Chain A
């Protein structure tokens, strides 16, 4: 099955700086890559996703890039704010043969005011 690795496991940044979280995947057939944000004690919420026919997608301060050749994708958060503090999960899915997501182990992001 698919194996998703996520780095770093913890990340601290000053408010206003950028944060980057990286994930790699093993199955070259994976074609859908969502990112989830989970605040303490809450459910994971989808914040952005990208499909394999696109190299980059942006939504306000959040962007995701995908390198299919290298099998890695990254989440970029610019102008970080304290409310961005949460655990972020990447996932990969091969939606031609099944919709189940394989998640990375998470990155705990702390934005220091």
Chain B
């Protein structure tokens, strides 16, 4: 039972490049979330999903897209990376009205 797995753990992108972050959970959770964590700003919600095939915008969705084609996977895409997207990205999953289970994070640097 791996819980929530994020790949990659680290990545450096050049401005304008694209990439996809993968979040996989093996707990059969319905809800999945993508947050970004920046110093002094806490965790801010980018996008989330309440079930397979559904997605919704969070607080800071601009510049990101997501897909939930399979219940266990939640993908976060950056189509054209910008330096402002340098951050640590956390995925989380949740079942019902419980707390989140977080992944280990992806540290992304855009130069």
Contact = CB atoms under 8 A, between A and B. Distances in A.
Given A43-B104, A44-B102, A46-B99, A100 B43 contact: no
Interface string B75-104: 000000000000000100010010110111
A105 B59 contact: no
B31 interface: yes
A44 B90 contact: yes
B43 A103 contact: yes
Interface size of A as a range = 20 to 34
B42 A101 contact: no
B46 to A, nearest CB: 11
Contacts of B105: 43
Interface size of B as a range = 20 to 34
A104 B43 CA distance: 8
A103 B42 contact: yes
Contact of B103 (A32, A43, A49, A101): A43
Interface of A: 1, 6, 9, 32, 34, 42-46, 49, 89, 95, 98-106
Closest 5 CB pairs of A and B: A46-B99, A105-B42, A43-B102, A103-B43, A103-B42
